[in-house]
Structure 1
Amino acid sequence: MDRINSALRRVPPWLIYVVAAAWAAWMFWRGVTGDLGADPVKALEHTYGERALQLVVLGLAITPLRRFAGLNLIRFRRAIGVTTFFLVLAHFTVWAVLDVQSLARVWADIVKRPYITVGMAALALLIPLAVTSNNWSVRRLGPKWRKLHKLTYPMAVLAAVHYVWLAKGFQIEPLVYLALIVGLLALRVKWSGLLPGLARRSA
């Protein structure tokens, strides 16, 4: 694990932005050229959203991976979070601009369709996280910055519920994402609950 961590320290975090932007552009080009099947808009919308959810899971897994496996991905956490927001925004844009194609219908769907309401709530929680993902905000907000970024937890649950809810019929994959997110959050709560006891025993 030390070898892996040493190798990861040589990888610049900005590379995540480059790879994500290149992948998103490539997927969009595939949609434009008809390489995403009979309904490229839906395929693109789904792909962007699913990749964003995978990054949400990865972001939540960073702390447990370091604590229990010794894998240190902390330096990539900010880039993963900002990239998640970028892909969620791409997911929303494809849906609103290419799929729905009407501001009135976008608003109507947000109000009338619960799974879209939940998805928009997740996006709304992501906005302050993305805006404050910089050193200036960390210095400016101080201890409040950590409290603000705990919005990650409800955002993750809402994103998973959005995916489960929009799936037609019983599908395993959305439930797997939900289970992973709930499991990672439960692990975090359990670990946090153990810390006071460990501190008292070591005192």
Structure 2
Amino acid sequence: MTGRLNDALRRVPVWPLYIAGAVPPLWWLWLGLTGGLGVEPIEALEHRLGELALQVLIAGLCVTPLRRHLGVNLIRFRRALGILAFSYVLLHLLVWLALDVQIPAQIWADIAKRPYITVGMAGFVLLLPLVATSNDRAVRWLGPRWRRLHRLTYLAVLLGAIHYVMLAKGFQIEPLLYLGGIVVLLALRLPVRRRLLPA
């Protein structure tokens, strides 16, 4: 059963994922321009992009546990998921910079004084070397170091979830569910050590 599914997945091209991934931001931009995002369109757009980025990062984290525990191999789609997630994070940041704050001095003040922005910015900075080395040439050049470098993904996703929890006003269960899900997925990636029982 799993073998048939993996054979079918190998025949699925990656490029439609990029096209599908471009639809939500364009649709939300259209809604924002036409009044479909409510009375606070900038805040709504910012929130939706950030949440989508976190969802796609979580989808990327699911790839290894799915292969390890269920035998489903989605590894060929992981790079596309990473690039799309970074694109959403970048758009989330640009909406905040260009449409929300707009004042350079205020931007630096917010990063320094507001912990949830500091945490979110730290997560974004961690993603920069990952997206810069998400090509075959970088994989060949870095060799074994590439895998160690890309473990920064785990910390970046965790910081993104913490950013979401800190951003939420009052007690909200949804950000906590994201954080809990990420912790579980990270735990599933830990190597399993079997104890040798005495005969």
TM-score (norm 1): 0.92
Q: Residues 77, 165 of structure 1: CA spacing in aligned structure 2 closer, same or farther, 3 A cutoff?
A: same
Unaligned 5+ segments in structure 2 are none
2:67 paired residue number: 66
Task: Write the deviation string for residues 52-109 of structure 1: whole angstroms up to 9, x where unpaired.
Answer: 1001111111111112122211100000001100000000001111111111111110
Query: Structure 1 residue 8: deviation in Å?
Result: 2.0
SS of the counterpart of 1:37?
coil
Q: Provide the identity percentage.
A: 58
2:122 paired residue number: 121
Query: Structure 1 residue 19: deviation in Å?
Result: 1.2
Quote the Cα distance in structure 1 between the aligned partners of 2:108 and 2:184.
Answer: 33
1:166 paired residue number: 167
1:20 is aligned to 2:5:
no
Quote the Cα distance in structure 2 between the aligned partners of 1:115 and 1:186.
Answer: 24
1:76 is aligned to 2:77:
yes
1:34 is aligned to 2:35:
yes
Quote the Cα distance in structure 2 between the aligned partners of 1:5 and 1:170.
Answer: 41
1:176 paired residue number: 177
1:99 paired residue number: 100
RMSD: 1.6
Q: Which letter does structure 2 place at the counterpart of 1:45?
A: E
Q: Which structure 1 residue ranges, 4+ long, deviate > 6 Å from structure 2?
A: none
2:188 paired residue number: 187
Quote the Cα distance in structure 2 between the aligned partners of 1:44 and 1:74.
Answer: 30
SS of the counterpart of 2:112?
helix
1:134 paired residue number: 135
Query: Structure 1 residue 22: deviation in Å?
Result: 2.6
Quote the Cα distance in structure 1 between the aligned partners of 2:3 and 2:38.
Answer: 44
Q: Which letter does structure 2 place at the counterpart of 1:17?
A: Y
Quote the Cα distance in structure 2 between the aligned partners of 1:22 and 1:187.
Answer: 31
Quote the Cα distance in structure 1 between the aligned partners of 2:140 and 2:112.
Answer: 37
Q: Residues 6, 193 of structure 1: CA spacing in aligned structure 2 closer, same or farther, 3 A cutoff?
A: closer
SS of the counterpart of 1:168?
coil
Query: Structure 1 residue 20: deviation in Å?
Result: 1.2
May I ask how many residue pairs the two structures share in their alignment? 196
Query: Structure 1 residue 193: deviation in Å?
Result: 4.0
Unaligned 5+ segments in structure 1 are none
Q: Which letter does structure 2 place at the counterpart of 1:120?
A: M
Query: Structure 1 residue 13: deviation in Å?
Result: 1.3
TM-score (norm 2): 0.94
